[in-house]
A and B are shown apart, each in its own frame.
Chain A
Amino acid sequence: MGISTLSEWTGQIHELVIGAGRGEGGTRSHSVRVGGERDLPYIGTPPSGHMPLVAYEIADDPALWPAAATRAVGDIADDTGAWAAYAEKECRPDLVRLSLTSTRRRGFSELSGIQQTVEAVLQATGLPLIIEGSNDPGIDSEVFLKIGEAAEGERVLLGIAEAGRYRSVAAAAMAYGHAVIAQSPIDINLAKQLNILLREIGLPPDRIAIDPYTGALGYGFEYSYSVMERIRTAALKGDTDLAMPMICSAPDSLTVKEVREAEGADADRIAVAWEYHTLLPATFAGAAIVSVRHPATVPLLKRAIASFWGGTGSGGA
């Protein structure tokens, strides 16, 4: 954008690499890099660090996915592998984010199913992956072990570690060479605390992405924005425990009242607008990866980010 740097920062955001190609023990067609910034987002010509990336989210149990997202892809949603292939071919995101929603079912026990799903997605797309596992401490240990194993060597970004339950995710990342999403509930102190916990367990800082938790536009996004700004400025001022790239998904964007109740031709337009207007500002607050669930949001966000960035990105490898 041609704005020159206004402050003399001393810190730098860690660079995080996601995805490993054939030469590095994985099967991805390329890897991507985020982070590395030495200034606020979009400041400088060119801006420091890597351009923010867009991830497209898919789910292995589409019944537990927002209607606006599944409606847009139709029957493909029933075959996770096909959905991943569609993602790469039709949406062209920088990353595919697989959410293992099947683990959220009561009494879930299909561990072998997880392995098959992860393998199918790895087969179907060459893009670097983000994989989100269970959110029940009771099954975390087994679920993350399976995911970690199934994606061994692929350097995926694994989610989600939280203050009370981070050990399994971290263990899977350490055992099988992945990175971790560290999520805290819109609170800079808790974000820092979790990063310290992860450090103490032995996970290197360049394998962590901070998820500050992102509220949907009109439903608390401003809190997330403000905390992200604080995280970023703290990192630039030299707080290395907060100097990790941030990842935002706005999981509630497609389930807010306005999107749910939109009808006819408006339905898709409003769904896309809600995601777009939540996650583009997230990049202004410092998000390095934004993930969305409506396929039509992907190209819009990519174009907007690139134009703010100045037309040339350095996200791909």
Chain B
Amino acid sequence: MKNIKSAVNAGNESLKTRLEGMGGSFSYDETAYHLPVTFALTGNAVNTADEAQKAFAAAGQNPLVAAECLVAQQAAATGKEPAPYTGFIPDAVLRTLGYSLVDGSILGLMLVAGTPPNPDTAAGLCRELQEKYMLTFLSGDIIRSLGSAGVKVGAEYRLVPLGSRPLSAIHFIDILARVAMMFGGVTPGDAGRLLAYAKERAKAVVIVFPGLDDEEIAVIDSFRLLGIPVLAAGDYQGDEWTRVQPGDAVRTGMELRGIKVTVTAIPIPMACSPAFEGKSIRKEEMFVEFGGGRSPAFELLRVRPAAEVEDGRVRVIGPEIDGISEGSAVPLGIIIEVAGTQMKKEYEPVLERRIHNFVNYGEGSWHVAQRDLIWIRLSREAVAKGVKIRDLGTLLAAKFRMDFPDLLDAVQVTLVTDEATVRAKREKAEAVYRERDDRIRGMRDTDVDLFYSCTLCQTFAPNHVCIITPERPALCGAISWLDGKIAYEIAPSGANQPVEKGKIIDMDRGEFEGVNRFVKKASHGEIDRCSLYSIMEYPMTCCGCFECIAVMLPEVNGFMVVNREYKGETPSGMSFSTLAGTIGGGAQTPGFAGISKGYILSDRFLQAEGGIERLVWMPAILKEELKERLLAVLKAKQRASLFDKIGDETTAETIEDLATFLAAADHPALAMKPLF
């Protein structure tokens, strides 16, 4: 039983002593990187013992530098070890290895060192590594062990025998260093970049069997500084290395570095690609629809403990497509459960919003809106080709795994088409939505310097840019400022980017220099100015996903808000869908704005036009839905009486009725400054 800590100390001492006693000159052949580890860490080209000692000091007595110099000197003095041992691998071979890493034909780099308990253990481990597309380097007795088990070694078998002694493991690091310099743009001497590259890009793991001496333990232990986990499948004492059973070593190692054998094809009878994302399915082309106000529907994504999620499992509760008559509207609940070590609860809404894209990727499936407002259609053509409701689940499970390979380890999907169950589960989902909305409440726009953008809908509305602030959620209501921040964390080049607020141009209208600059660029030059708190001047553009539409009503000097669920006419003379068709598509339409429900409750709502007191009409269902929260907001402003002065379809169907109603109720908007 070796104690790691004391072995490291003894090993470092011994390496230092040997290095100091070293003499002569030495170098590797067929490389432009000198002694690569030393060169990458210090920028020094080492050819003599003297230079080696200087580099060792320059690298802060790094044991990797000592080991490299000693191994190189040994090879120069006594010649390379005979075949099958490779010793130092020339640049040309390495370039091919690096090629395979970038190319994806190998997924990661593994080093196995030491003496395995028996040949079968060694053979089993290496077979598993081959099956998992890992490129494995071997050093020490493991090589002989494999030989006696009849396992062939060599680069062509993705099992590279470095040397008979475990100290040859240093070649693993010289390979990593050269890959970083060749492919990662790491410049020699820039140790910081090298460490970052090794940690973030190089997917490397070490598995150690018993039989290492102190020097070898010191060298392998220092691999951890490069972010390489060391798994001990043998008698090593101490918490520095992760203890594993040989049978679990590969899985554990791959998990630690987030290496995953990826899904490539989705087994459904429907093409699936971003190319179909912008294609809509019209009523005449549709076989069945879900939600959209015609049937109850919702979507919800939750994180669960790994034990509760079986990757790829898809369940349909309720009738399948063959039990549904053509042209009907069917209830649907999409419940996605995910597990992953990196996955956080805060990520849920961001991932949930991706359901929108993924369903639209299907050639014959179409999706709009979010949460409990979703509207999904399956085309007649797709159903004729054999597409079932279950296939939506298969598509979603696969796409989530493909697009978030680092975040998610397992995804299971439940699709509910049974009406009673959908209604019951929707109620629970709504509690989750509320909980999410509560998290952001209380944050102010003035508290932050960064807003977040959302250009997720540019496939439909190419010039639309949402600017999300703490007090103004995305117009779809599904992404808050926090969600934007998290989405940017998960995917730094994704659709949610940080937007520098910059200098204030007009605080009342919420116009900022930085926001204008961003919007100009992200709208491809179409939109020059954007006010975040005004609907009259330079309002934000609209895609098509807005929860509600706010419309100026000049006759009554105020604004009405109509929500997507409300199917009737409004005092503006237009229904929601007519209005939506007028303002969507990425246009800026003064007097009209697509907004989220949450924004109505914000202090910034209609700020430039005089605030909530301008609100003169909402459909009764929306009033009911917001009642509790809106009353709280109004009370805080000492305006509780305003709630009953807001008209709805029961009190005012037309603009004339509304004018009469507002006059009778003495609505404050009537006495406010004219909108024009």
Which A residues lie at the B interface, using CB under 8 A?
10, 141, 144-145, 148-149, 167-168, 170-172, 174-176, 185, 187, 189-190, 193, 196, 199-202, 233-234, 237-239
Contact = CB atoms under 8 A, between A and B. Distances in A.
Closest 8 CB pairs of A and B: A171-B102, A171-B103, A237-B525, A175-B99, A167-B104, A171-B99, A168-B103, A237-B524
Given A171-B100, A175-B96, 18 more contacts: A10-B525, A141-B100, A149-B95, A167-B104, A171-B103, A172-B99, A172-B103, A174-B99, A175-B99, A189-B277, A189-B458, A196-B493, A200-B493, A202-B183, A202-B184, A234-B524, A238-B525, A239-B521
Contacts of B640: none
Contact of B103 (A141, A199, A237): A141
A202 B102 contact: yes
B524 A175 contact: no
A287 to B, nearest CB: 21
B590 interface: no
Contacts of B458: 189
B210 interface: no
Contacts, number: 67
Nearest to A137: B264
B456 to A, nearest CB: 12
B105 interface: yes
Given A237-B524, A238-B521, A201 B102 contact: yes
Interface residues of B, number: 23
B591 to A, nearest CB: 27
B117 interface: no
Nearest to B521: A238
B274 interface: yes
A190 B273 CA distance: 10
Contact of A233 (B96, B99, B493, B524): B524
A241 to B, nearest CB: 9
B274 A175 contact: no
A234 B524 CA distance: 6
A238 B101 CA distance: 33
Secondary structure at the A interface, as helix, strand, loop or mixed, is: helix
B459 A189 contact: yes
Chain B CB within 10 Å, residue with most, of A144, A170, A176, A237: A237
Contacts of A199: 493
Nearest to A204: B185
A175 B525 contact: no
A145 B99 contact: yes
Contacts of B274: 189-190, 193
B608 interface: no
Contacts of B266: none
B275 interface: yes
B96 to A, nearest CB: 6
Given A190-B274, A193-B274, A200-B493, A145 B96 contact: yes
Nearest to B523: A237
Contacts of B521: 10, 237-239
B151 interface: no
Given A141-B103, A185-B275, A196-B493, A174 B183 contact: yes
Contact of A175 (B182, B184, B185, B277): B182
Contacts of B102: 167, 170-171, 174-175, 201-202
A187 B183 contact: no
Contacts of B105: 141, 168
Interface string B93-114: 0011011111111000000000
Interface string B256-279: 000000000000000000110100
Interface string B498-541: 00000000000000000000000100110000000000000000
A139 to B, nearest CB: 12
A176 B183 CA distance: 10
Contacts of B99: 145, 148, 171-172, 174-175
A62 B274 CA distance: 36
Contacts of B104: 167
Contacts of B524: 233-234, 237-239
A187 B275 contact: yes
A84 to B, nearest CB: 26
Contacts of A185: 275
Contact of A176 (B95, B184, B525): B95
B238 to A, nearest CB: 36
B525 A167 contact: no
Nearest to B183: A174
B7 to A, nearest CB: 37
A190 B275 contact: yes
Interface in B179-193: 182-185
A124 B95 CA distance: 27
Contacts of B183: 174-175, 202
